[in-house]
Every structure is written in C-alpha cells, then in structure tokens.
Amino acid sequence: MKHSLPPLDSLKAFEAAARLLSITLAAEELCLSKGAVSYQVKRLEQHLGQPLFKRTTRQILLTDAGQMLYHTTQKVFQDLSEQLLALNQQHQQNLVISVTSYVALRWLSPKLASFCAEHPSIKVIMQHAINQPHLNHPGVDISIAWQACQSSVVDETQIQLPMPMFVVASPSVMHRYGLSAHSLDTPENLTQSPFQDIPLLYEDRQTDLWQLWCHGLPLNNPRHVIGDANVRVQAAIDGQGLMLADALMQTEINNHSLMPISSHQLQGFGYVISPHTSHPQARLLMRWLQT
C-alpha cells in the first residue's frame, strides 16, 4: 500500500534533534554535518507545512506540533528497534534441526545435551517427524536424513554416517522358529521353510530394503508395515517379527532384548547430516558433531 510518509532520513534527523534539543548533538550522533541535519529537519517542516522547532540564538525548542510528532516518532523508533533486535536474536540464536524421532531419541538428543551445556545462548529446536523429515521446510538449519550412503564423509558441507543394516529377532521369535545367531547367514534361507513364515517388520518405502538385503530374491513372508521406527523396534522386541536394524539399536542388542541372527549385512545406507544455511550456529554444530 502506498503511503504519504516523509523521508525516513528526515524523521531520523528530527527525532534526534528533538530528543537532544540540539542540532549539533544530533549531527554528532548521526555522524552527519549540522547543515545536513538542519536540511533534513527543514524538509520535514516543509512536508508538514508548519514549524517543528522554535529557534533561538542559543538553543532550539519544540513547538506544539513538534512535541506531538516527537512522542510519536520516539515510540515508533523504539518499537521498531525492539522488534528488529528480537528478530535478529531469534535469527542468530535459534538452531532448527530436522530429524526423525528415531534418530533424535537414539543418537542426537544425548549429544545435544552436552552441546547445549557448552552453548547455553543457542536455542536448539528439533523439528522431528515419524518418517523422513521435511528437509525443505522453511527455517531448517540442519537436516539428518536416512539415505544412500556409500562412505564416511566429514567436511563443512556434509557428514555421512554409513550404517549397515542387519536382521534382529527377539528371544521369543528365535525360540518359536528355531533360529540361531547364524540362521540367516545365507539370505536365501529366508525364502525356505520354516523361516518363510516369519513376519517381516518394515517401513513402507519406495525401496524394499528386505528385497535388497535378500539380493532381490522373492520373499513371501507376511509383512507388517509399521511407519514409526521406534514402534517398529518395540514390535520386534514384543515378538511380532524380524526387523532390519542398525547401530542405533545397540542398547537393545546389549541387553539381549533383540539379537542378530545373521552376519549378512545390507550396505550402502546410513545417515547424512547436511547444513541448509550458512548461519554461524549451524556451522558451529556441524564442527561440534565432527568431533
């Protein structure tokens, strides 16, 4: 919308002169000459069609119109200054990380505790989702996504964390189907009895990870689709079927609630940490994670 406001430079010069009641002091504050401040004030008076100052040989005083305008400009400049400061602090200090709830719970959150302790002025916001996060969401500074990941890469633009996937089962499933620690060392065994009756827990993706793990062999096992990885882990613990796990499930493996049943691993996938801005706090966290 078009406005009829006078030039901002004129309002700034007037506000300083009115606050200090001195053209000289206003010029010093604004890093201008006295002539430049006087010119801007004169422009404003011409725009309004009335004087704003009473000028004497030694000082300047505000007219009634000048008093009214000064109170308004002072409030407007103060409000604007506070708003800009708040926006700048929010922009500089907030760090938005887009990450799945699975990675946030099992890997990122424990690390962020010490990062936040070292950098208390940075407000970390985890924007998490059940499945892949919305990496292109406005305001995201760093994303952590599960994707194809061939090798360990650590630099300023990306950190790749390859995590081979392997099959795990609960003790109850192992007992029910007569599984051992090496039952599926040969992936083809999964296509044969009695293993072909074991339900497979998986996430409905475009890429069928079970088929990749099994070298593309046809699998007729029952499928249980569970989108939330944390719920999928619990389902595996509860004995609902086999699950493809990664190193983030080491706690369950250590306490024997889930056990590897094959030395065969699916390579080529992992987690990729990528910055989406060049903000200092994003670079700081990337460097911190590299250590």
DSSP 74-133: HHHHHHHHHHHHHHHHHHHHEEEEEEEHHHIIIIIHHHHHHHHHH-TTSEEEEEEESSS-
What is the reported pLDDT for 135?
A: 55
Domain boundary among 29, 63, 91: 91
Q: Which strands sit side by side in the sheet containing 223-225, from one edge to the other? A: 223-225, 200-202, 242-245, 166-169, 259-260
What is the reported pLDDT for 15?
A: 92
Q: Which residues pair with 100 in a beta bridge?
A: 129
Same domain, 45 and 131: no
Same domain, 34 and 57: yes
Tokens of 146: 């599960």
Instruction: Report the C-alpha gap between 192 and 196 in whole angstroms.
Output: 5
Same domain, 189 and 101: no
**Structural domain range at position 117:** 92-144+275-290
Number of domains present in the structure of the chain: 3
Same domain, 14 and 101: no
For β-strands 166-169 and 259-260, DSSP reports them as antiparallel
Q: Which of 130, 153, 146, 124 is nearest to 225 (CA)?
A: 130
What is the reported pLDDT for 110?
A: 86
Establish if 239 belongs to a structural domain. Answer: yes
Same domain, 107 and 190: no
- Beta-carbon contacts of 165 under 8 Å, excluding residues fewer than 6 positions away, are 209, 213, 244, 245, 246, 265, 266, 269
CATH code, domain carrying 178: 3.40.190.10
Establish if 155 belongs to a structural domain. Answer: no
Same domain, 173 and 256: yes
Instruction: Report the C-alpha gap between 141 and 230 in whole angstroms.
Output: 25
- In the predicted model, residues of the chain with pLDDT beneath 70 are 1-3, 85-93, 130-138, 151-156
Burial 70-104 (b: 16+ CB within 10 A, else e): beebeeeeeeeeeeeeeeeeeeeeebbbbbbbbbb
Q: Which of 291, 283, 290 is nearest to 142 (CA)?
A: 283
